[in-house]
Amino acid sequence: MKFFVTGGSGFIGRALCRALVARGDEVVVLSRKTGLLIPGVEVIHGDVSDWGSELSSRFHDVDVVINCMGEIGAETKMYELHVNGTRRLIGSFLSHSKKTKKPIHFVQLSSVGAYGMASRSNGRRITVNEQSVPYPVGQYEVSKTVADEMVVSYCTADSAMSYTILRPTNVVGPGMSNRSFHQLANMVRRGIFFYIGNSAAVANYVHVEDVVRALVLCATDVRAKNRIYIVSNDCMLREVVIAMAKRYQVRCPRLVIPAWLARLSVTFFSSIPKFPLTTGRVDALVSKVSYSNELIKAELGFTTIFDIPDSVPAILDGQQ
């Protein structure tokens, strides 16, 4: 099969490209980075903002598009990349598919942030599944959700293309660009981590290799067509913290402070440079929201392999 991968130079995209090449697939990547080299992958230098309505002949024989592009830093760039960029991509591939009668499958890598539950659970136990109503909070989550809805709309209106949307929890693994996992580990290492509310919070993580396996399955299994799936491997936050403490051979944190005190501290001290708490971080540290893996398991037979607490040493040491 021939795959076109956007965001192939990123954390998840690179791991995905490696997996596809290992399968023997042909892989083409569009990247803004000059001189990018991914073994076994054809890299085309370009930017999705320059993507034309007419599909280049270099992509005429693509079977599957996997859209992994994402902007996690600059909020001002998120809507343009996630929404307008995705619109250009799917529009050109859809037009080509209609003209040539060649079916193309579009896999959209999204986020469970589309459901927005962690920020409004208030410490209540909630289980989110694919039937939960989207309620994104934040520019990243909103722009990703709008892009998802657009993909569904385009493919539903015209059967020339099919889609699958994959919504993972926080993706972790060696070499990840998101530093929040390492920031948590650093607090544990320095002995300054504390639980908020109680130690029963849920950690919403999934290993990058499990996400890659799910993406490949969504791209190749016909049962995944026109479906939305969550992929998660939730565990207790304290299990992750204990694993971090063991890795650094330090005492396991035990201090618990009330949630109201943590939120009050954010209100008064958030303007202090490098103050460790934010509203979003407090929400995460008190969250008891779990994300269900049951649909992708029932329909595609997918289960996660990488236990997050067991993976902590390799993640922190940067081991592949």
Q: Assess contact for 131 and 162: CB atoms under 8 A.
A: no
Instruction: Express the helix, strand and coil content of the chain in percent, nearest 5 each.
Output: 45, 20, 35
Note whether 207 and 306 are within 8 A (CB).
Answer: yes
**SS3 category, 235:** strand
Q: Looking at residue 306, what DSSP letter applies?
A: -
> Is 70 exceeded by the pLDDT of residue 140?
yes
Query: In whole angstroms, what is the distance from residue 10 CA to residue 319 CA?
Result: 17
Could you please report the per-residue DSSP string of 153-203? HHHHH-TTEEEEEEEESEEE-TT-S--HHHHHHHHHHHT---EES-S-PEE
Range with the poorest average pLDDT among 97-106, 114-123, 232-241: 114-123
Collapsing DSSP to helix, strand or coil, 109 comes out as strand
- pLDDT value, residue 8: 87
Average pLDDT over all residues of the chain: 90
Q: For 22-46, write each residue's pLDDT tens digit.
A: 999 999 998 877 667 788 999 888 8
CA distance 184 to 203: 12
HSE value, Cβ hemisphere, 13 Å, CA-based, for 318: 3
CATH class of 2-173+204-233+291-306: alpha beta
Minimal CA–CA distance to 7: which of 182, 144, 136?
Answer: 144
By the 10 Å C-beta count (0-12 exposed, 13-18 middle, 19+ buried), 181 is classed as: buried
Q: What is the pLDDT of residues 276-316, one digit of tens each?
A: 788 777 887 888 899 999 999 999 999 999 999 999 999 99
Tokens of 128: 């989110």
> Tens of pLDDT along 229-254?
999 999 999 999 999 999 999 999 99
β partners of residue 45: 31
Q: Are 108 and 144 in contact (CB under 8 A)?
A: no
Residue 205: closest CA among 175, 180, 242: 180
Q: How many CB atoms lie within 10 A of CB 83?
A: 19
Distances (CA, A) of 263 to 122, 194, 260, 268, 271: 12, 14, 5, 9, 14
Q: Which residues 6+ apart lie within 8 Å of 302 measured at CB? A: 213, 214, 217, 231, 293, 296
